[in-house]
Amino acid sequence: MAPTIKVGDKIPEGTFTYVPWSEALESHAACGIPTKLSTSSWAGKKVVLFSVPGAFTPTCHVNHLPPFVEKYEEFKAKGVDVIAVVAANDAFVMSGWARVEGVKDKILALSDTNAEWSAKLGLDVDLSAVGFGTRTSRYGLIIDDLTVKYVEQEQGKDVTVSGADALLSAL
């Protein structure tokens, strides 16, 4: 299924939950406190957002998130203000995954509960057949002042059009 959002469209309003990184999270005994982030906070900013079906799942954990961490400085050099990864997992799981991956404060690990925001983009997926329920599909977005400049959804299990290299090339 193709995304309903297109290049040139304004992103829909949405609110994500996440646990902001802090030094206290270096202790695995700390969990942090979830907070809300509104897409309206991205007004005037260049945002690279990529979505994964699930934290700690093989492709997402090994092939999707790590290159964004490794190429963080390249994104910043291209004027990116915010890098975010989105999944339908809860904020605590997203925070735990980000800590395991060494993300710290480089990438926001956002919870798109029930893939609600992704559904507004036509980028949710029903993975009930494998016991996951409704999830965010694997996709990449470049958003500049709330306007979509790039949107691509993966059609298979590989990370191509939503990966760090593809998004860097599109900037």
pLDDT of residue 107: 95
Quickly count: other Cβ atoms within 10 Å of residue 26's Cβ. Answer: 11
pLDDT digits 0-9 by tens, 31-84? 888 999 999 999 999 999 999 987 766 555 556 788 999 999 999 999 999 999
15-170: in CATH 3.40.30.10:
yes
What is the percentage of the chain residues whose pLDDT exceeds 90?
A: 58
pLDDT of residue 28: 74
Average pLDDT over residues 12-19: 96
Q: Annotate 99-134 with DSSP letters as a single string.
A: HHTT-TTSSEEEE-GGGHHHHHTT-EEE-GGGT--E
Marked catalytic residue, from 52, 60, 94, 121: 60
Active site residue 60: yes
pLDDT of residue 130: 66
pLDDT of residue 80: 98
pLDDT of residue 166: 97
Cα separation values, 56 from 78, 84, 129, Å? 28, 16, 19
Please state, in angstroms and rounded to a whole number, the distance separating the CA atoms of residues 68 and 140.
Answer: 12
Instruction: Please list the residues that pair with 125 across neighbouring strands.
Output: 135
- Cβ–Cβ under 8 Å, residues 151 and 141: yes
